[in-house]
Chains A and B, each alone.
Chain A
Amino acid sequence: MTSSFFAEKEIYNGLLLSRTIILQELINFLMDYFLELLLGGLTKGSIYALIALGYTMVYGIIELINFAHGEIYMIGAFTALIAASILNMLGLGQITILILASILAIIYSSAYGFTMEKIAYKPLRHSPRLSPLISAIGMSIFFQNYVLLAQTSDFLPFPSLLPEFEFLQPYRHIIRSPEIFILFTTVVVMVLLTVLIKFTKVGKAMRATAQDRKMAMLVGVDVNKIISMTFVIGSSTAAIGGVLIASFIGQINFYIGFIAGIKAFTAAVLGGIGSIPGAVVGSLILGCTESFATGYVLSDYEDVFAFGLLVLILIFRPAGILGKSSSEKV
């Protein structure tokens, strides 16, 4: 729209009316853009939340930053890709493929999480704090290169598995169906997880182990089994996140786990590591921050914003938003 266009319009239609309309349209446009960014941020945030849960649960129980957790998510996405491609060639329907591929991804991710704990972390239960962390970094590098060597270093196109909803067509410019689907799935997973931890016997044992491992052992909790369980649950939510994001973005490679892992960790720390609602809140905040920062400020620096936020949080409020700050006991 040029200024001459405005001038003509003003001559023909009168001054005030047209101005209101233009203003209205501008506001509408800005609102739409804002909503688009917000919903995009929430979608991203819910994916981070699915990964961050694994970090926060493992940290809650054995105080270990499971550096290789992002790689578990990547392996989940790869398993889903392989399964989906094969099922696609067999000519199954989209929803069937989505469900079967997700189940396989969950099974394999949990199996990897379980095995990783047995090999790299369990022998180090009583070592100094840095030992399991270094071991976790080793695991992360190992998994990345394992997938790189066994599969490929290229980006693989991921089939779009998420369903399209008819009723969302009019709002296409604001939100797409996969985003709604991701948000919905995340909410379901969160509810299930909350029920598991609050109301089941396993959940109770988990909470007990997190509070005091020795005491939990004394009252008859099989601590090793509970720790394995935690890894399995964390890995399966990461696998769900992997399937969703890969299908949403449409391509994966061996390196996606690293960045996603760091960001999910940022989210977990932001919310207060060890706290499950904290991980969700932190993830949503991180997702929105990234979305708004790239939408309004600078688009090249998305990762810089995430890491900058992490550094700031750790410096000013290491306990996070919902975490309890505790001083070290002597």
Chain B
Amino acid sequence: MHIFEEIKKSTITAVWFVFLTFPIMVIRVNTIHKTIEWRWDNMIMVAVGSFALSFVWRYFMEHRQAPKPEAMGRGVPWIQNARQAIKHPVFFYSAIALLTVFAVIFPFIFSRYQVNIMTTALIYVMLGLGLNIVVGLAGLLDLGYVAFYAVGAYSYALLHLHYGLNFWICLPLGAGLAALFGIILGFPVLRLRGDYLAIVTLGFGEIIRLVLENWNEFSKGPSGIAEIPRPPIPGVELSLSESSVFLYFLVIILTLFTVFVVNRLRNSRIGRAWIALREDEIACQAMGVNKTATKLTAFALGATWAGMAGVIFAAKTTFINPASFTFLESAIILSIVVLGGMGSIVGVIASALILILLPEYLRAFSEYRMLLFGAVLVIMMVFRPQGLVSTVRQTYQFKGLKKDKEVG
């Protein structure tokens, strides 16, 4: 019988997982008081959970089809229809108008706490879009992206501390310094293949963090830098809540700027060179694309946004220390890009908002946040490597004799 077969498989899976998770999930030893705590309820949870999940897993495994090159980005028919509907001007402009109204009145109807959360989420949108250039468009897996974020944050904090430079000067300076670091890192690793590149960037990110942690004279070490001023408006005295509203609007403007630039970049000559390089490096070189320059611009431009986001982060929290720039932060930004769909702008914005806002509002879940991020990375790779919103490939179609250009 088919049903019995399935139940048998799931039972075996459940038994295996109970065995697997037994020491870690069930037993907890207290080595100081020499007591053992047995948590049998966890075992029941694992058994029932894995029994149920194995059905889901097998169902999706059977219905998983390998993404075919020509079907890439076209996807399921209803998504295609939805895309067409969204493209329709009436719908498109009314959606934009609604979003604008919502974004403008948001800080006036919600509390300062909500505004701060939204600002954080928007900073992650910027980071996600920046990493999207490097990972999504150019196909260079950067696991040390947080290093550039740290460079931005620390350049504002230190320039303010030592030279008294204000936010508006530091914003472009931080972005520029991060871009410089992007080039410094990018230059030696150009020759490396994808997976080696990932590890080197990871090492680079860790080096930056460790140096910030240990070089006390330079960065004040693990205790960090406090009393970083919020962005000022010349001649206007801002209260605490006013300045957080101001920061919110500033981040909105910068996010829009990011979206604009990334969108323009993607369809530019350099953007197409990135995508081509991602797809096939050798063919790309044969077509005369300058590999070095293309990769370096990807690194530098990706880092620029991280630097900018870093300056804003420092201004928002008014306190930074190296603990804010661990590998986990890079992993969160990477999850945003992967979940959203590599190369897709709308997807990255949506996934940044989902991944950052959901744990804030579902407090019960926030403990499991990183666990879920890890699971999201695996599940997305197995079942939907193109992300929530897959990018539509630019395609050219011949219709009879008339050449028709379709831009997605």
Interface residues of A (CB under 8 A from B): 64-65, 75, 78-79, 81-83, 85-86, 89, 104, 108, 111-112, 115, 119-120, 123-124, 126-135, 137-147, 149-152, 156-159, 258, 262, 265-266, 269, 300-301, 303-304, 307-308, 310-311, 314-315, 318, 328, 330
Contacts and interface: CB of A to CB of B under 8 A. Distances in A.
A269 B378 contact: no
A149 B371 CA distance: 9
Task: Decide if the interface of chain A is mainly helix, strand, loop or mixed.
Answer: helix
Contacts of A129: 194-195
A301 B34 CA distance: 36
B111 interface: no
Interface centre among A82, A115, A156 (most CB of B within 10 A): A82
Given A141-B377, A311-B200, A318-B191, A115 B16 contact: yes
Given A89-B34, A134-B334, A141-B377, A147 B370 contact: no
Contacts of A133: 141, 194-195, 198
A120 B368 CA distance: 20
A138 B24 contact: no
Task: Decide if the interface of chain B is mainly helix, strand, loop or mixed.
Answer: helix
Interface string B293-313: 000000000000000000000
Contacts of B378: 119-120, 135, 138-139, 142
Q: Please give me the 3 A-B residue pairs with the lowest Cβ-Cβ distance, nearest first.
A: A138-B377, A142-B374, A141-B374
Interface stretch (B25-33, B159-167, B235-243, B393-401): B25-33
A142 B371 contact: yes
A115 B64 CA distance: 20
Given A85-B31, A328-B282, A65 B195 contact: yes
A303 B206 CA distance: 9
Contact of B36 (A78, A85, A304): A85
B141 A112 contact: no
Given A142-B371, A150-B42, A311 B377 contact: no
Contacts of B207: 304, 307-308, 311
Contacts of B34: 85, 89
A123 B60 CA distance: 12
A189 to B, nearest CB: 23
A112 B21 CA distance: 9
Contacts of B36: 85-86, 89
B20 interface: yes
A156 B367 CA distance: 21
B141 A303 contact: no
Interface in B347-375: 367-368, 370-371, 373-375
A258 to B, nearest CB: 7
A134 B24 contact: no
Nearest to B375: A142
Nearest to B337: A134
Interface in B312-344: 327-328, 331, 334-335, 338
B24 A157 contact: no
Interface in B371-386: 371, 373-378, 381-382, 385
Contact of A108 (B23, B206, B328, B368): B23
B233 interface: no
Contact of B199 (A79, A120, A130, A314): A314
A315 B199 CA distance: 12
Contact of B19 (A83, A111, A146): A111
11 contacts: A65-B195, A78-B24, A81-B29, A85-B34, A111-B19, A124-B382, A138-B381, A141-B370, A141-B371, A301-B210, A318-B193
A137 B335 CA distance: 10
A149 B61 contact: no
Nearest to B211: A304
